[in-house]
Chains A and B, each alone.
Chain A
Amino acid sequence: MAAALTAAQAGLIGCEHCGLLVRAASADEPGHCPRCGSPLESRRRQSIERTWALVIAAAICYIPANLLPVLGTTTLGSTEYDTIMGGVVFLYTSGSWPLALIVLIASVMVPLGKLIALGYLLISVQRRSSSSNRERTRLYRMVEFIGRWSMLDVFVDTFTVALVQLSPLMAVSPGPGVMFFAAVVVLTMIAATTFDPRLIWDAGGEPESRIG
């Protein structure tokens, strides 16, 4: 793909806050916006480092989110705890495989997919890969879009806990896994916004010293 001239290459920076297009003071120190005084950034500061940190944190949380129970069901004195995978297996064995599939996709595959996608974007940017930039941008947009919808399990959990309180006959309580699950969702959402998609296109042009 032919690389178009970027604003950075032209020594120009758009103020992210008031939208003023200014000439950068220098390539290394873009300076401040003369109109609103905000610091100018050609690319989001430390985008890759921050995104990596958040992706790694999300990946760490992903393990206990799947190992710890997310839901405790108390029926007449005996309490059972279910993990996400336990719930998927239960739904599948009890015959409702479409539901099992939905839970599997929304709760296991999507968070994992987001982590892998962000990791791939980060690595490809760091390696200055210039191929399939368009696809990578599309992937990034998907990750950003999906972010708020992968809360499905946390939603279901919250609703169930709020609705099913027929104590002492039956009660439902959240398990510790929910916290980690929410953490994965929130961290990947922040990571998606921290990642600067402009970096994808930088690789095609001149070497960028401001990355990182």
Chain B
Amino acid sequence: MADALDSNTLPQATLTPPRRSRISAIWLIPLLAAAVAIGIAVNRILNEGPTISILFQSAEGVEANKTIIKYKDVKIGQVTAVELHQNYSKVMVTARIDKHAEGLMVEDAKFWVVQPQVTLSGVSGLSTLLSGNYIGFEMGKSSKPQRHFTGLKVAPVIPIDQPGREFELTASDLGSVSVGSPLYFRRLQVGQVMTYQLAPDGNSVSISVFVNAPFDHFVSAQTRFWNASGVDVSLGDGGLDVRTQSLVSLLVGGIAFATPSSAVEPAPATADTTFVLYADRATAMKQPETISRHYVLYFTESLRGLTVGAPVTLFGLPAGEVADVGIDIDPATTEVRGRVEIVAYPERLVSDMHTEQSSSAQAMVQNPEQSHAFFQRLVMDRGLRAQLRSGSLLTGQLFVAFDFFPDAPKAEVDWGPKMPVIPTVPGTVTNLEDKVSDILAKVDKIPFETIGSEVAQTLLALNEAIKDIDKAVNRIDKGVIPELKPAISAVRSAMMSADRVLKNTDATLLGKDAPGQLELRDALQEVSRAARSLRVLTDYLERNPSSLIRGKNGEKP
């Protein structure tokens, strides 16, 4: 082959000076690749946050590599493993925390599972319906790092960075107050009950309440707290007095507070002040009496309806109360008469006086001799007498009223051996039971128990439905869910209208046709309808999961 060619006829290559060979620039490519890969690896290692473990009683809806940990709605970590722990009684969740959140993993940090929840005080975690459950996080105050935590069953009531203050209340019993019960100031919700516990001696219950800023400013040393649960219907001499805070407090309990207008020092209370939780507003707002005087009244009429504690009034203003009711027999004349012992609080009247005079009046009250003499003059010259009057429209209760009867026969205060006896005049007790029974019937008609159980049942059904949806949504991973949206917004609007009605109802509860009740019923029906339709949708989705993408058969998606 080779000799067939005449190599001399082939063109000759031209020669140029040789180039110096050196290490090829091509090696820059692997160097660059290595540099980038190492850079990424180093970056990963440097940004690797701590791995923590959280022990839960149950970790519903928590999945490895899917569930995230959120703080203030910002992702701070991801669950890497979920496994049973401690004799299979608990769930151990392992999570990798992002580097930027490493400093949050301190001793008293809190974790809990967030899932959709319908409670009497509101709907929470609705967003988890679509995104799946996540683990909520609340930072602690400690600075000691920790890697092993115990999860909470429910989210903490008050976020740790919520401004405000905590106060301690003591009560004889818990009543219907529970964790999360609202705290009202002028019917405005300004806080919540955080915890409660039995006192070590078992004689009282101590309740921790949290008052949000800036309302904590209104809690002074003289502030009174009372149990605002339920309807406070009092039939005093002032007529029918119905006080409720809200229907929510009727159902879940609540506490209200106020500072008496006579409080002299409205400085904010210190955080460690302990308050007494009174049973109701009237008890709470009662003034502590420093000066009390006992008097005896004799009546010849029936004392039926006059009880210990019944008010004693002067010019219609509260001036004292009945301390004892009994009978008295005069041995000489064998005359039987009613004996009523009253306690008068002269300071109460002084506090009602005009400011210019109150200081001299106060001085007179402080001096018993002077006040006795003044009292005697009122009785003798002006005709001051005690009289029994019908106070309560409902029960025919009596109270003692002081009034001026200039035409009454002359009498004077008998400074008896023990207590002064004040002259009386016969009362004019009129029976107003007809009027009263009307009001009573109306109050009777309010179906508090039915309302309560209806609300509870509906909420329960709704919660179940929401859980079903939650499961369905989780199962249809990454699905596109066009049908679910209107259903969920229908539930949300129904629940919002129920909530609005719940808030408005107490104002109209005692109206003529009680429209609040009707509205409430409508709203509750709306909520249960929405819950029902959600359930139907869930069932349908379970049978036809593909309809999420294609829509129902025969329908355009």
Contact = CB atoms under 8 A, between A and B. Distances in A.
Contact of A34 (B13, B18, B65): B13
A21 B13 CA distance: 9
A195 B40 CA distance: 30
B33 A30 contact: no
Contacts of B30: 53-54, 56-57, 60
Interface in A101-127: none
A183 B130 contact: no
Nearest to A39: B16
Interface string A161-198: 00000100110000010001001000100000000000
Contact of A61 (B10, B33, B132): B33
18 contacts: A5-B1, A21-B10, A22-B10, A25-B15, A29-B15, A34-B13, A34-B14, A49-B27, A53-B24, A53-B29, A53-B30, A57-B30, A63-B37, A78-B66, A78-B132, A169-B480, A170-B478, A180-B37
A61 B14 contact: no
A31 B15 contact: yes
A64 B33 CA distance: 10
A25 B12 contact: yes
B26 A49 contact: yes
A187 to B, nearest CB: 7
How many chain A residues sit at the interface, stated as a range, is 35 or more
A13 B66 contact: no
A142 B30 CA distance: 24
A61 B130 contact: no
B268 to A, nearest CB: 42
Contacts of A183: 33
Interface of B: 1-2, 7, 10-16, 18, 24, 26-27, 29-30, 32-34, 37, 40-41, 65-66, 68, 127, 130-132, 477-478, 480-481
Contact of B29 (A21, A33, A80, A187): A187
B37 A61 contact: yes
Given A80-B66, A170-B478, A187-B29, A12 B131 contact: no
B37 A50 contact: no
B131 A49 contact: no
A31 B11 CA distance: 12
A73 interface: yes
A89 to B, nearest CB: 12
Given A53-B29, A57-B33, 8 more contacts: A21-B11, A24-B13, A31-B14, A32-B14, A34-B14, A57-B32, A63-B37, A77-B127
A10 interface: yes
Q: By CB atoms of chain A within 10 A, which of B12, B27, B29, B41 has the most?
A: B29
Contacts of A25: 12-15
B474 to A, nearest CB: 11
A20 interface: yes
Contact of B478 (A22, A37, A73, A180): A73
Given A49-B24, A78-B66, A22 B13 contact: yes
A136 interface: no
A1 to B, nearest CB: 17
B16 A78 contact: no
Interface string A1-44: 00001000011110000001111111011111111010010000
A91 to B, nearest CB: 14
Nearest to B14: A32
The 10 A-B pairs of least Cβ separation, nearest first, read A31-B13, A57-B30, A56-B30, A57-B33, A53-B26, A77-B131, A25-B15, A60-B33, A31-B15, A25-B13
A75 B476 CA distance: 11
Given A49-B24, A57-B33, A63-B37, A20 B11 contact: yes
Contacts of B11: 20-23, 34-35
A13 B13 contact: yes
A156 interface: no
A30 B132 contact: no
A28 B24 CA distance: 18
A46 interface: yes
Contacts of B41: 64
Given A68-B40, A76-B131, A166-B480, A32 B13 contact: yes
B2 A57 contact: no
B469 to A, nearest CB: 13
Nearest to A55: B30
A13 B13 CA distance: 9
A58 B477 CA distance: 36
Nearest to B473: A76
A166 B479 CA distance: 11
A186 to B, nearest CB: 10
A46 B22 CA distance: 10
A170 B131 contact: no
Contacts of B34: 57, 60
A56 to B, nearest CB: 4
A176 B40 contact: yes
Given A5-B2, A49-B24, A78 B13 contact: no
B13 A54 contact: no
Nearest to A53: B26
A53 to B, nearest CB: 4
Contacts of B32: 57
Contact of A50 (B10, B24, B66, B132): B24
Contacts of B24: 46, 49-50, 53
B478 A75 contact: yes
Contacts of A20: 11
Contacts of A11: 7
A57 B29 contact: yes
A22 B14 CA distance: 10
A50 B15 CA distance: 25
A182 B423 CA distance: 110
A159 to B, nearest CB: 17
A176 B478 CA distance: 22
A77 B299 CA distance: 80
A22 B27 CA distance: 32
Contacts of A46: 24, 26
A21 B5 CA distance: 12
Nearest to A166: B480
A75 B11 CA distance: 70
A50 B13 contact: no
A165 to B, nearest CB: 12
Contacts of A169: 480-481
Contacts of A29: 15, 18
Given A50-B26, A60-B30, A31 B16 contact: yes
